Amino acid sequence: ATTKSATNVELKWSKNPNATDYNVSYGPGSGNYLYGLSGTGNTDTVTISELDSNQRYCFVVSPVNDCAPGQISNEICIGEAKKVVLGVFTGGGEVLGLSSTASGDDATDSTPDTTLPDEKIIIDPADFTNPVKVLGVPTRITIPALDIDLPVAEAKVENDLWQTFAGFAAHGVGSANPGERSNVVIFAHNRAGLFGNLKYAQVGSEITVLSNNRKFRYQVSEIKEITPDQTSTIGPTQEETLTLYTCSGENDKKRLIVIARNIGA
């Protein structure tokens, strides 16, 4: 039997002054984040241990503050190519470096050569995905079955975190507008009068989003609870999708995601 060596990857980033926590997402390919760490705390470093040194891995980091999803950092990859591969996913922020150490019988031969020294190396942040705004921004969302009827405000990015509002739902700047073929992301606090009733959503429920005095109708197709590190949920999509996002679980440690498809205006 072949003994596989293990690689420990240390990620370092610049701390966000408004963040209370960070999520790390990673997986075997660009944008393919099958694994994650949430609840890393207010730190700027995390070590992921016992990775297969013969496998390619790609990593991103995002800050967290309450229910507001943070922008996703640059993606950084290590693996079979024996060098660091830098790519753009979405997001701002800075990933400041990556180093690896190996252990095991094959450590010398199979450890990926990251070409990065131990000191921090600044990687220029990627531009946050910003599709051309052909259509208007969402201004109101209604879900009659859940007694949700809320104005929607544009949530700008401040220190890599989308804003949240006390009396409004928020549309993430950089996500799509209604009518565009990508992901329209709307989020709010899990409170009465906001998205507190979202936990009662059912597949088939209808959602209406108002934009430029035009109504866009969506139907719920999927409901799931995820951990905050599962960032692909708020990323771009190939078809028009509405994603509603709020906190859930004990001490708001998880996220409730309601995904809906456009069914016409």
Could you read off the pLDDT tens digit of each residue along the chain, which spans 265 residues? 233 345 677 777 777 777 777 878 887 777 677 777 777 777 778 887 777 767 777 888 877 766 666 667 777 777 643 333 333 333 333 333 333 333 333 322 222 233 322 223 233 333 334 433 346 889 999 999 999 999 999 888 776 677 788 889 999 888 899 988 899 999 999 999 999 999 999 999 999 999 988 899 999 999 999 887 787 888 888 899 999 999 887 766 789 999 999 997 6
Query: What residues are paired with 101 via a beta bridge?
Result: 8
The pLDDT, as a whole number, for residue 67 is 67
Angle in degrees, CA 86, 88, 90, rounded to 5: 145
pTM of this structure:
0.57
CB 58 within 8 A of CB 30: yes
Domains belonging to the chain, first-starting first, are 6-110 (2.60.40.10), 140-264 (2.40.260.10)
Burial class (CB in 10 A: 0-12, 13-18, 19+), 49: exposed
For position 265, what pLDDT does the model report? 67
CB 175 within 8 A of CB 234: yes
d(C-alpha 133, C-alpha 24), whole Å: 30
Would you state the structure tokens that stand for residue 133, as one six-digit string?
């705004």
Contact 107, 164 (CB under 8 A): no
Amino acid identity for residue 198 in this structure: L
